[in-house]
Structure 1
Amino acid sequence: MNVSSTSSSTSSSSLGNTDLQGFGGLVSGLNRDDLIEQLTKSTTNKITEQKQSITKKEWQQEAYRNITDKVISLEDDYLTFSSGGSIKDADLYEKSILTAEGDDNATKYVKASGISDMTDYINIMGVKKLATAASVVSGAKNTDAAITTTMNLNSKATSTTIIAGTSKLKFGHYDTTSNSFVTDGSFTFPASYQDEETGKSISIDYTMEDKEKLVEQLNKAIKQNGATVGNNDLSLEFAYDSATDKLSLRAVDKDGHDATSSSETYKITADDNILSALGVDVSALSETDKKQGITFEAYNGNVATNDKKFSETSVQEEDWANYLEDKKLTIKFAGESNTITLLTSSDKDEVLALDEDQRADKIKSIIQQKINTAYGENKIDVEEDENGNITFAPHDGKTNLMITSSDAELRSNLGISENESTRVNLSGSIYENREKLGFGAEMTEAQLDAALADFSINGNAVTGLTSSMTVGELLTKINDTESLGVKATYMSGTNQFALIASNTGSGRTITLGTGAASTIFGGEGAQFNDGEDAQLTYSYGNGVTQTVSSSTNTFDLDGLSVTVSGTFGYVKDSNGTLTDTIDSSMSVKFSSKADVDGVTEKVKKFIEGFNEIATLVNDQIRNRPDRSYKPLTEAQESEMKEKQIENWNEKAKKGLLYDSSVIRDMSNDLQSVFAKLLSSGYDYKDFETIGITFSDDYQDGGQIKFDEEKFKSAMETQPELVSKLLAGDGDKKGLAQTIEDTLTPYATRFATRNGNSYGKLVEEAGSSKIPLMSLKNNIYKQIKDMNTQIENLQKLLKTQQDRYIKQFSGLEEVINKWNTQSSVLDSIYY
């Protein structure tokens, strides 16, 4: 199918609805729009031709880049040393795979890599010791026999009147037409928010005594999740006055500035319970206020003038039986974790059916039974202390016990921190763990802060420590302070802290100051260990041995990198102490071989990549373009089926670069690769020996043939020959360098190799792999000029259309006048 690329294939007008512009042939009967299209056809054809030219240029750019990107990929993957084994590197073909040979009880501890002329002679006679890092291990920390809670079953539990996930404030306006409140924004009180530094989810405890902290958490949640007050530019913010114990609301702009005065058109509404919980005197609100909402100013005025306190309105007391219903506690004991529901609905009913003086024992009994079901009897004891508070204790008095809950309010009622433990609790604050860390129980937070201000390891201070930080955060702070040169950890199994030097080897010690670091990591029973060097003995098989030391467990032996992971070879005396006597039967030797499979696969892929480039280039210069197939216009595509369009474009894209002198030069250069190699002194038979030859088909554009089996055989028997032919021999460039030199003038990532040019192909069409050149290439500039020409032609077309419309409109007016005069004359005559 051959469609003329310039003929109009649609009857639709290019003028749009021109009936709105003057008279459209109503009087004269002329098809004005068709006539104007014919009169401006020369200009519209020029626009169409320019658009087709742009399409063809874009196709050419794509064709260039297809070749260019493959050239650069070949360079990236096989010809740069950062590619993980450049085929230009002679070491790639060396015997680099080393195998330790000898007694299995020795070879399992030895690994080696590298290339050395002494590989076949080196014997590892023995390893006397491994390198160790300096370390400090604290004595076992104090442990509590029980976890004591503040859950006194003879008193009341404290719960919040603000229900997370349910309690909601609504913002909006009152619609007098529908007589209803229209919600434009809302805020639901959240159960948690995300800590910006750690990314950890922080549960919000609405019963906490520190209301200032509570309000701070609420505002963080708003910033993370948003809470518009109706105007998307304004957000909600809580403000707490600790002096008056009042909670107010305000609207803030995006910069955090108070904009309450500009939000007066937006009102607040909520159910009576949440308003009361926030400190509003609901009885002072009229029914109209409740229905239509109140302004921020009215809300804050109500809160400020009544006698309610936020610390009182936001919490309430209730019976433990009611409070514990459906509350869950997670218990970890002896490596097992279970979550129990403290009281079910039926449990609660059973408790409340008893007299008040019997309820506490019943609740304790129910919880004990559930723990027994989870872990067995006589594992964890639920008791009361002398103050009536519930305690949880391991029955044997020593197994680690931990309790926690995701419910911050429940933790508050129990008086525990996250992951409360009979041992050090990494999730608890330093202050909460002060006794277990070695500080006095009577120490105040202020005193502990002062102690933490003097915290140093290896003479370097750790700053910013506070008693409110968790123990886990303390360890993280130490590990993140590189100047200390240590890593800190807590060993829960033995309830000890440890500091380990970041580097192994002798001459390294860990020192603790006299402050808090010594209290936590030192103290009674602490062990200080200096670092030691590794020690290895080897020989060249001549009976002469040498003993060498290393600060790491890796040794450099004549170019070989030998890493050891255990001791062997040295004889022990009757006490199990190593002597200086070596058992020669435990010596380890090395055999080496080239990485035949790895190198073969790499060279195979390299040649396939080169052949792919040669094929693309060859196709462009061998396929003549059919100039009768031009890019389709939108109008033409609308009349064709998808398959027809595909077939048409396939023919239109044929030979896009046929006339490119750059592609023809590149084709000639690709076909001359072997000629360059042979002219530099290589023997073609040597290439045949390693399975790499020039294709005997002169029409395939210079492809290289690769015989995988021959190449593998050559790698196993003549790796030196493979290296010379591929990586080069002295001043003679090998196949890899010759191909790189051939391709670099056309495309390269390294402009400095090419006279500060990224190559002829890149200069012509750019490359997706070199973004810098996306707007700095010849085709881009040509397309840009063509678009400018189209803009000018479109302006000319508009001018021509407007002129013809004006002329036709004038003609219509003249004919209309003639018709009017003729009608008058006719009426007079008759």
Structure 2
Amino acid sequence: MSYINTTYNSVTRMTGLSGLDVDSLVYQLMQVEKTRLNSVSQSRQLLIWKQEQYREITSALQSFSNEYFNSLKPAMDMRSSSVYNAFAVKYDGKDTNPYFSVTAGSGAKAGSYNISNIVTAKTAKVNGTSAAGNIIGISEDKIGQISSEAGNNVFAVEFNGVKKNIVLSDGLNNIEDLASDLRNKLNDAFGDGKINVILDSGRLEFSTDKTNTLSFSSTMNGGYNSVFNSDLSAGITFTGLNNKFSIKLGNTTKEFSFEAGTSFGNADNLAAAIQNMVDEEFGEGAITVKTENNRIKLESTVPETAVSASAVESDGLKAIGLDGASRSNKLNLSAKIADIMDSFAVPIGLGENQYEISFTINDQTFSFDTRTTSLNDIMATVNSNSAAGVRMSYDSLNNKFTLETKQMGVTARIMASDSEGGFLGAMGLATSNAVTGRDASITFDDGENGEQTITRSTNSFTINGMTFNIQKDFADEVEISVSSDPTKAVELIKGFVEKYNGLLDKINSMLSEKREYSYAPLTDDQREAMKDDEIKKWEEKAKSGLLANDSLLRSIVTSLRNAVVESVEGTGLTLASIGIKSNSWVDKGKLYIDEEKLKNALSENPTEVFSLFTKQSDVLYNTAVTNGSAKNERFRESGLIYRIYDAIQDNIRTTTVGGQRGALLEKAGMTGDRSVLNNMLYSQISSYDDKIAKLNDELIIKENNYYYQFSQLETLINSMNTQSTWLAQQFAY
């Protein structure tokens, strides 16, 4: 018996009965048959290696682009004018000052300037009043009602995320006793003085530091668990804390309670009492109350109508004067407004059965139904209205709403008024007159034209090539000195050129690498016969030269070289004139820098250098991709940096322009992008996969046929051997 395991077949066979080594014979025959499969598999492997090498180039271009064409890293973005600044700025002889900063751009001039009377631009802003009120509690006439027997001496307090039940003492006779008892219980629960209990004119107030969050809520009466989730074999005695529950039949819910002190000796007696109660409320026979294993169970006798029991809230909050509603010193922004009406410091002016609020901000009217709208909903709606031009926000620390314009300057304004419900007034956001913003301004003296007052609507603006960023108001004079210092720009350009040369080296090395045709991808049988280090060395040879003289890579190199060789329309400089050039054709486009010449160009002619590098064409990139003449026009008009950027994007862009992604992605895809499964090489590899699967099926059939033929041969041989033995036996006599 032998076990046959190949890349295409795995079966168990009975062979060798005739003395023939059938497995060996079939193996040798199949080696010839596998020649075509091996050839297809090797072709597939070559495509996979080519795909990996294309992606290696894609990764190199992407890394270069991320380093030098990244708007999120402005200090390294070669498309930005600021990186070519050949100036250093000092403020009264210091490198920085807290009131403003200046960036001297390509249009700046070295010299001294005096800046004074600095005023920041501001938005128009309306700060609301406190939106949530203090929690006000009980009046003295209710104190005698508080007792454990009544079940109204318990409520929950949550302080900075920690929630605890507060149980009031029995026998409180007056409001002073209640205040003292509350103070002691809250101090014990959360620490001395964390929550203040203040008695004022017969009313109780609870307050805390504005940085804290404090809320009061009801606890749940324990009746539901005591009745429906407990073993009642020992009976039950109700107290004020476990004597209430509700029952729902269909869409109708009723609340039930037992007097504190009521007792039942077993589950059956309690079930009978509850049966009488539900018959009275829902009608006789609508609900059946029964017992199972000393537990109360409910069954509905009404067709297709469910019955259930649930817990109800205790009366603790109501007993201390909060009417059973949860209260907090902070507004619940996600709750429906109708549910938190009592939380506002100034009540919203809605009458009974009135739910609509409406208001106008900068001529835009907003209307809301308080039953379906939360404060978050209002803020989101206001903030998304571009015509209103304001941002509404809530400061949870100070419990205040704020209205602020999205723009700065004197033209920014807020006019806000209520139409119905008084919402803005309650929040302190209504305005009787327009509230306006403020322009930024400075007094600027360049030493030639005297003092000039410069006014702008934002805190960032440019004067004579110098970009000012105003940070604080300041009246006194500050002297700024602008001096030539191209060092930083030179170092950045050097780094850029070095990485550019590295890109060309990498691509050119692949283009010129010799192909080792005698080293084909290894077959499975060959790999099994070799050691790991032998396989590694072999495959290094097999992978070499796969992209030699590749047309796509040649196109990339040509684009990168043309980007820096061709002159830029409308500029009077070339790379060579500022100290950057290629020495000879042998260097295959690599650039070399004369640092001194580059420094002089940046110092003496910064505007032209900037234009040479970053001049922008009026033709958009997407237009140029799909239009040959537009592409040529964009190339002529664009600075060297934009040309290089375009050349890279032409090959690695992940967005579809003109129906196509970048050329490298169309060819080989990119890891992490959907092109990884949608590219030319992937399709070819998939086609080879289909061929390999088909060839494997054919080989299985071929191998099975060989085994069948040898099986027949062995049968004949065995038959002949049997006859021969018989004849020999006959002649022996």
Could you say whether these structures have the same fold, taking a TM-score greater than 0.5 normalized by the shorter chain as the test? yes
Give the structure 2 partner of residue 242 of structure 1. Answer: none
Whole-Å Cα distance in 2 between the matches of residues 319 and 553 of structure 1?
A: 63
Give the structure 1 partner of residue 410 of structure 2. Answer: 506
Asked if 1:54 corresponds to 2:28, the answer is no
Q: How does 1:322-333 map to 2 (within 5 A)?
A: 329-331=157-159
Whole-Å Cα distance in 2 between the matches of residues 635 and 365 of structure 1?
A: 91
Match of 1:461 among 354, 365, 371: 365
Whole-Å Cα distance in 1 between the matches of residues 163 and 654 of structure 2?
A: 65
How far 1:62 moved relative to its partner?
A: 1.8
Q: How does 1:508-547 map to 2 (within 5 A)?
A: 508-517=413-422, 520-521=425-426, 528-534=433-439, 536=441, 537-538=443-444, 540-542=446-448, 545-547=451-453
Whole-Å Cα distance in 2 between the matches of residues 595 and 481 of structure 1?
A: 47
How far 1:140 moved relative to its partner?
A: 6.3
Amino acid of the structure 2 residue aligned with 1:439? P
Whole-Å Cα distance in 1 between the matches of residues 210 and 511 of structure 2?
A: 82
Q: What whole-Å deviation, never above 9, does each CA across 1:54-76 have from its counterpart, x for those lacking one?
A: 21232123223323442455456
**1:512 alignment partner, SS class:** strand
**1:629 alignment partner, SS class:** coil
Deviates more, 1:812-821 or 1:721-730: 721-730
Cα distance, 1:318–1:658 mapped onto 2, change above 3 Å? farther
Give the structure 2 partner of residue 189 of structure 1. Answer: none
Whole-Å Cα distance in 2 between the matches of residues 524 and 704 of structure 1?
A: 63
**2:496 alignment partner, SS class:** helix
Asked if 1:146 corresponds to 2:127, the answer is no
Contact 2:414–2:436 at 8 Å: present in 1 too? yes
Q: How does 1:109-258 map to 2 (within 5 A)?
A: 109-113=99-103, 115=105, 117=107, 126-127=116-117, 130-137=120-127, 143-144=133-134, 146-148=136-138
Give the structure 1 partner of residue 30 of structure 2. Answer: 40
Q: How does 1:30-429 map to 2 (within 5 A)?
A: 30-71=20-61, 73-74=63-64, 77-78=67-68, 84=74, 91=81, 94-95=84-85, 99=89, 101=91, 108-113=98-103, 115=105, 117=107, 126-127=116-117, 130-137=120-127, 143-144=133-134, 146-148=136-138, 329-331=157-159, 339=162, 357=171, 368-372=183-187, 376=192, 380-381=196-197, 393-394=206-207, 403-404=214-215, 409=220, 414-415=316-317, 420-421=327-328
Whole-Å Cα distance in 1 between the matches of residues 640 and 534 of structure 2?
A: 45
Asked if 1:801 corresponds to 2:614, the answer is no
**1:520 alignment partner, SS class:** helix
Amino acid of the structure 2 residue aligned with 1:530? V
Cα distance, 1:638–1:59 mapped onto 2, change above 3 Å? same
Q: What whole-Å deviation, never above 9, does each CA across 1:200-253 have from its counterpart, x for those lacking one?
A: xxxxxxxxxxxxxxxxxxxxxxxxxxxxxxxxxxxxxxxxxxxxxxxxxxxxxx
Contact 2:361–2:417 at 8 Å: present in 1 too? yes
Contact 2:391–2:403 at 8 Å: present in 1 too? yes
* Count of aligned residue pairs for this structure pair: 607
Q: What whole-Å deviation, never above 9, does each CA across 1:578-626 have from its counterpart, x for those lacking one?
A: xxxxxxx7265562656742x3454334223323333333443555344
Give the structure 1 partner of residue 543 of structure 2. Answer: 653
Asked if 1:612 corresponds to 2:499, the answer is no
Give the structure 2 partner of residue 591 of structure 1. Answer: 482
Give the structure 2 partner of residue 294 of structure 1. Answer: none
Q: What whole-Å deviation, never above 9, does each CA across 1:742-767 have from its counterpart, x for those lacking one?
A: x67994649999999955x6676555
Whole-Å Cα distance in 1 between the matches of residues 484 and 139 of structure 2?
A: 68
Asked if 1:439 corresponds to 2:347, the answer is yes
Whole-Å Cα distance in 2 between the matches of residues 497 and 669 of structure 1?
A: 57
Whole-Å Cα distance in 2 between the matches of residues 116 and 526 of structure 1?
A: 46
**1:51 alignment partner, SS class:** helix
**2:369 alignment partner, SS class:** coil
**1:604 alignment partner, SS class:** helix
How far 1:810 moved relative to its partner?
A: 2.8
Q: TM-score normalized by structure 2?
A: 0.63
**1:463 alignment partner, SS class:** strand
Amino acid of the structure 1 residue aligned with 2:327? E
Give the structure 2 partner of residue 488 of structure 1. Answer: 392
**1:30 alignment partner, SS class:** coil
How far 1:42 moved relative to its partner?
A: 1.7
Q: Indicate the RMSD between aligned Cα atoms, in angstroms.
A: 5.8
**1:60 alignment partner, SS class:** helix
How far 1:44 moved relative to its partner?
A: 0.7
Contact 2:68–2:77 at 8 Å: present in 1 too? yes
Whole-Å Cα distance in 1 between the matches of residues 139 and 439 of structure 2?
A: 51
Give the structure 1 partner of residue 250 of structure 2. Answer: none
Cα distance, 1:527–1:113 mapped onto 2, change above 3 Å? farther
Cα distance, 1:531–1:100 mapped onto 2, change above 3 Å? farther
Whole-Å Cα distance in 2 between the matches of residues 87 and 400 of structure 1?
A: 43
Whole-Å Cα distance in 1 between the matches of residues 607 and 117 of structure 2?
A: 34
Amino acid of the structure 2 residue aligned with 1:393? F
Whole-Å Cα distance in 2 between the matches of residues 588 and 517 of structure 1?
A: 52
List gaps (5 residues or longer) in structure 1: 1-9, 158-316, 332-336, 570-584
**1:803 alignment partner, SS class:** helix
Asked if 1:812 corresponds to 2:714, the answer is yes
Amino acid of the structure 2 residue aligned with 1:564? I
Amino acid of the structure 2 residue aligned with 1:368? R
Contact 2:461–2:469 at 8 Å: present in 1 too? yes
Q: TM-score normalized by structure 1?
A: 0.56
How far 1:48 moved relative to its partner?
A: 1.7
**1:800 alignment partner, SS class:** helix
Whole-Å Cα distance in 2 between the matches of residues 745 and 428 of structure 1?
A: 49
How far 1:47 moved relative to its partner?
A: 1.1
How far 1:510 moved relative to its partner?
A: 0.8
Q: What whole-Å deviation, never above 9, does each CA across 1:130-172 have from its counterpart, x for those lacking one?
A: 5444444556679557345999795577xxxxxxxxxxxxxxx
Amino acid of the structure 2 residue aligned with 1:40? M
How far 1:441 moved relative to its partner?
A: 9.4
Q: What whole-Å deviation, never above 9, does each CA across 1:312-340 have from its counterpart, x for those lacking one?
A: xxxxx99578x78xxx7334xxxxx5958
Amino acid of the structure 2 residue aligned with 1:329? V
Q: Percent identity?
A: 22
Contact 2:26–2:703 at 8 Å: present in 1 too? yes
**1:513 alignment partner, SS class:** strand
Q: What whole-Å deviation, never above 9, does each CA across 1:696-744 have from its counterpart, x for those lacking one?
A: 895x755445687986687567756865876699989987578679x67
Cα distance, 1:123–1:422 mapped onto 2, change above 3 Å? same
Amino acid of the structure 2 residue aligned with 1:420? R
How far 1:512 moved relative to its partner?
A: 0.7
Give the structure 1 partner of residue 280 of structure 2. Answer: none
Whole-Å Cα distance in 2 between the matches of residues 745 and 391 of structure 1?
A: 70
Contact 2:151–2:315 at 8 Å: present in 1 too? no
**1:61 alignment partner, SS class:** helix
Contact 1:43–1:793 at 8 Å: present in 2 too? no
Contact 2:67–2:77 at 8 Å: present in 1 too? no
Cα distance, 1:695–1:645 mapped onto 2, change above 3 Å? farther
How far 1:531 moved relative to its partner?
A: 0.5
